């Protein structure tokens, strides 16, 4: 709460180092962003995502394409930035990360026949608690970058789940299972599912399963970062 108040009073400071931002900087200063760990190329990022999901779920999580911008490390500048975005109401960081992801996707040269973008939803009680859904802000900026509509009401979280943060790996895998539901009939060929960070991949897997069971033909994933085992 105190951090959120400080950001309201002093919105033009870096969320990591608290130094004043330059006019060209947004949320996080250029110096701190150099401490992020970006993937070298799109193929490395996508293969890392596939490896993470296969290592934890086998071949049952099938997705068309995957885009991630950063490798997540504990106690890193990126962790502080994502925490501020997620828990301190700094939605502008979601806008920034979404724009980066959208540009990364376009630079990959092939976004395929993606028809729409679906942010991983929060349960309505958690949405009230946090005041906004960070995945929604990320998805919104991706949509502007790649010129695709965001369908916020397509998928809902029907069951309240505790935060994945701090849960053991096995509990993280079980926590979101069966938590999602498609709220209307769909006849979509290709949907891009968006979240902020991939840890075990359980949230993306559960959300994708709901979309595929409802009639979506193919699902691709986009996330700001992937948490690797350290």
Residue 145: its pLDDT value, please? 96
% of the chain with per-residue pLDDT over 70: 84
pLDDT, mean of residues 157-180: 59
Q: Does residue 47 lie within any of the structural domains?
A: yes
pLDDT tens, position by position, 30-47: 999 999 999 999 999 999
Q: Does residue 63 lie within any of the structural domains?
A: yes
**Taking the model in full, what pTM does it have?**
0.85
Q: Does residue 170 lie within any of the structural domains?
A: yes
Q: Does residue 84 lie within any of the structural domains?
A: yes
pLDDT tens, position by position, 83-105: 888 888 788 899 999 999 999 99
Question: How would residue 221 be classed by pLDDT, with cut points 50, 70 and 90?
Answer: very high
Q: Does residue 220 lie within any of the structural domains?
A: yes
pLDDT, mean of residues 140-145: 96
Q: Report the number of distinct structural domains present in the chain.
A: 1
Residue 2: its pLDDT value, please? 45
Over the chain, what HEC string results? Answer: CHHHHHHHHCCCECCCCCCECCCCCECECHHHHCCCCECCCHHHHHHHHHHHHHHHHCCCCCCCCEEEEEEECCCCHHHHHHHHHHHCCCHHHHHHHHHHHHHHHHHCCCCCCCCEEEECCCCHHHHHHHCCCHHHHHHHHHHHHHCCCECCCCEEECCCCCCCCCCCHHHHHHCCCCCEEECCCCCCCEEEEEEEEECCCHHHHHHHHHHHHCCCCEEEEEEEEEECCC
pLDDT, mean of residues 192-205: 92
The domain spanning residue 202 has which CATH number?
A: 3.40.50.2020
């Amino acid at each position: 709460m105190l951090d959120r108040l400080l950001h309201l009073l002093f919105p033009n400071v870096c969320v990591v180092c608290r130094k004043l931002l330059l006019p060209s900087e947004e949320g996080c200063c250029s110096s701190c962003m150099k401490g992020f760990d970006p993937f070298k190329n799109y193929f490395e990022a996508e293969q890392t995502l596939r490896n993470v999901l296969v290592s934890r779920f086998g071949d049952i999580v099938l997705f068309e394409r995957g885009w991630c911008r950063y490798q997540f490390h504990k106690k890193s500048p990126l962790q502080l930035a994502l925490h501020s975005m997620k828990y301190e109401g700094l939605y502008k960081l979601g806008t920034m990360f979404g724009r980066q992801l959208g540009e990364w996707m376009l630079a990959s040269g092939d976004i395929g026949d993606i028809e729409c973008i679906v942010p991983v939803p929060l349960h309505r009680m958690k949405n009230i608690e946090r005041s906004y859904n960070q995945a929604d802000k990320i998805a919104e900026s991706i949509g502007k970058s790649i010129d695709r509509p965001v369908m916020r009401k397509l998928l809902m979280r029907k069951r309240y789940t505790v935060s994945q943060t701090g849960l053991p790996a096995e509990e993280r895998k079980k926590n979101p299972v069966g938590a999602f539901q498609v709220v209307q009939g769909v006849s979509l060929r290709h949907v891009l599912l968006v979240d902020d960070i991939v840890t075990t991949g359980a949230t993306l897997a559960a959300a994708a399963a709901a979309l595929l069971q409802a009639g979506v033909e193919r699902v691709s994933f986009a996330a700001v970062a992937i948490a690797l085992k350290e």
